[in-house]
Chains A and B, each alone.
Chain A
Amino acid sequence: MAEYSTAKQRRIAFPFSGLYKGMWTTLKTLFQKTPTVFYPDMKEIPVPRARGVIALDPDACTVCMLCARECPDWCIYIEGHKEEVPPAKEGGRVRTRAKLDRFDIDYALCMYCGICVEVCPFDALFWSPDYEYSEYSIVGLLHDKERLTGWLATVPPPPAVES
Chain B
Amino acid sequence: MTSGFFWLDTAIKVAVILGAMLTGALVVIFAELKIGAHMQNRPGPYYAGGRFGWAQPLADGAKFIQKEDLIPSAADSAVFKLAPYIVVAATIATFVVIPFGPDLVVRDLDLGVFYLLAISSLTTLGVLMAGWSSANKYSLMGGLRAAAQLIAYELPLVLAVVAVVVQAGTMSLNGIVAAQAEPIFTLGSTEVAVPFLLKGQILGFIIFTVAAVAELSRIPFDMPIAESELTMGYLTEYSGIRFTMFFLGEYLAMISLSAVAATLYLGGYWAPFIPGDALNFLGPGILLAKVAILVFIIIWIRWTWPRLREDQLQNLAWRWLIPLALLNIVLAGVFKVVF
Do A and B make up one complex?
Answer: yes
Query: Could you tell me which A residues sit within 8 Å of B by CB distance?
Result: 19, 22-23, 25-27, 29-32, 34-36, 38
Q: Which residue of B lies closest to A25 (CB)?
A: B304
Contact indicator B300/A29 (Cβ below 8 Å): no
Contact indicator A35/B41 (Cβ below 8 Å): yes
User: From residue B112, how far is it (CB to closest CB) to chain A in Å?
Assistant: 33
Counting CB contacts under 8 A, is B46 at the interface? yes
Counting CB contacts under 8 A, is B336 at the interface? no
Q: Is the interface of A mostly helix, strand, loop or mixed?
A: helix
Contact indicator A29/B40 (Cβ below 8 Å): yes
Contact indicator A29/B305 (Cβ below 8 Å): no
Q: Report Cα–Cα, A138/B259, bound state, in Å.
A: 54
Q: Report Cα–Cα, A34/B303, bound state, in Å.
A: 16
Interface size on B, residues (CB 8 A): 13
Contact indicator B42/A29 (Cβ below 8 Å): no
Residues of A within 8 A of B39 (CB): 26-27, 29-30
Contact indicator B35/A36 (Cβ below 8 Å): no
User: From residue B296, how far is it (CB to closest CB) to chain A in Å?
Assistant: 10
Residues of B within 8 A of A19 (CB): 304-305
A34-B300 contact, Cβ under 8 Å, with A19-B305, A22-B305, A29-B38? no
Within 8 A of A (CB), among B27-42: 35, 38-42
Contact indicator B46/A34 (Cβ below 8 Å): no
Contact indicator B42/A26 (Cβ below 8 Å): no
A27-B41 contact, Cβ under 8 Å, with A19-B305, A22-B305, A38-B46? no
User: From residue B306, how far is it (CB to closest CB) to chain A in Å?
Assistant: 9
Counting CB contacts under 8 A, is B333 at the interface? no
Residues of B within 8 A of A36 (CB): 42-43
Q: Which residue of A lies closest to B302 (CB)?
A: A26
